Chains A and B, each alone.
Chain A
Amino acid sequence: MDEEDPEEFQKRLDTLAPLVVDGAPYAVSLGFKILEMTRNRAVMTTPYSEDLVGDPEAGTLHGGVVTALLDHCCGMAAFGGLGARHTPATLDLRIDYMRPAKPGCDITAEAQCLKSHGLVAFVRATAHDGDPDDPVAIAQAAFMISGASKAAHKRAYEAFKAAES
């Protein structure tokens, strides 16, 4: 699988990655978008919205929005790192909240898959509100291609083939 042509791989990633975001209702409802996607790296953003505020006095986004964006962005980096065939599930996610995000600013997350082998991937990520050198949060996470994910992928693939024929 690793000997796959890099161009072919990137093509598959470009096709599948947006589906993994647009196919996740939670990601859609929070407005997640992919900015960049290569084998081991994912950059995603979520627009500032008053709907997502966690501190009405300060107007800052809820920590949970940053948690969700970091989780999804790390998952995308792991998806690429693991070969872009199955969507991995989060095993653990550790986040340090360095400071509240500035009101009115979009949040961008950048994730790097540091290592992947077999079914497990290790990812590190940063979330910022404009300046990557002044992060609002940093995260480290581990992902795994679960049996449930593989089985779901198989069901979906068979349904797709059946619909095609």
Chain B
Amino acid sequence: MSEVLLETLLATPFVSRIGVQVEQKGTELTGVLPFQDTLVGNPLIPALHGGAVGAFLEVVASASLLVSQPMARLPRPIDVAIDYLRPARAQDVYARAIVARSGRRVANVRVEAWQGRTEAPVATLHGHFLITPKGADDES
């Protein structure tokens, strides 16, 4: 658990600007992206911007890595693959991550985002993140 880094992550200008919040129960974390007009990508539908949903999924992946074990630094994305499954409506979005593998340097994370029903995800992310677990990387 890296409580301080999680707070740092949520307080970074970009993350606080899009308004990401987390609900945390032990090492389990749910991200919330409360709806705001500025997150809309297509006002005609209206649907949230793919970049807003994508950024939210990246933040939830980082936050989940931070609660999974003590870290010395914020995780940095190496690559992400985002699948958009349905239009994200003008409502709050939720997301939860599974850390598939967390090594000494790289973690493999999957995140799923939904709105009304968890069975109807709006987007999924699969990505690799560069991590610095506390103690594992003291030389650098």
Binding site for B on A (CB under 8 A): 23-30, 50-56, 61-65, 67-72, 75, 87, 89-97, 100, 146, 148-149, 152-153, 155-156
| B55–A95 CB distance below 8 A | no
Binding site for A on B (CB under 8 A): 8, 12-15, 17-18, 37-45, 47-52, 54-56, 58-59, 74, 76-84, 87
- The contact sample of 19 A-B pairs, CB cut-off 8 A, is A29-B38, A53-B12, A54-B13, A64-B15, A64-B55, A64-B56, A65-B55, A67-B80, A68-B50, A70-B51, A71-B50, A72-B50, A75-B50, A89-B42, A91-B84, A94-B79, A95-B81, A148-B45, A156-B44
| A92–B83 CB distance below 8 A | yes
| B45–A68 CB distance below 8 A | no
Which chain A residue shows the least CB distance to B56? A64
Which chain A residue shows the least CB distance to B130? A97
| B47–A96 CB distance below 8 A | no
Query: Hey, which chain B residues are within 8 Å of A64, CB to CB?
Result: 14-15, 18, 51, 54-56, 58-59
Query: Hey, which chain B residues are within 8 Å of A52, CB to CB?
Result: 13-14, 17
Instruction: Kindly state the separation between the CA atoms of A90 and B18 in the bound complex, as whole angstroms.
Output: 20
Q: A26-B38, A153-B44 are in contact. Are A54 and B81 (CB under 8 A)?
A: no
Query: Hey, which chain A residues are within 8 Å of B56, CB to CB?
Result: 64
| A93–B77 CB distance below 8 A | no
Interface residues of A: mostly helix, strand, loop or mixed?
Answer: helix
| B81–A92 CB distance below 8 A | yes
Instruction: Kindly state the separation between the CA atoms of A91 and B50 in the bound complex, as whole angstroms.
Output: 9
Q: A89-B47, A152-B44, A152-B45 are in contact. Are A51 and B83 (CB under 8 A)?
A: no
Instruction: Kindly state the separation between the CA atoms of A153 and B47 in the bound complex, as whole angstroms.
Output: 13
Instruction: Kindly state the separation between the CA atoms of A51 and B11 in the bound complex, as whole angstroms.
Output: 11
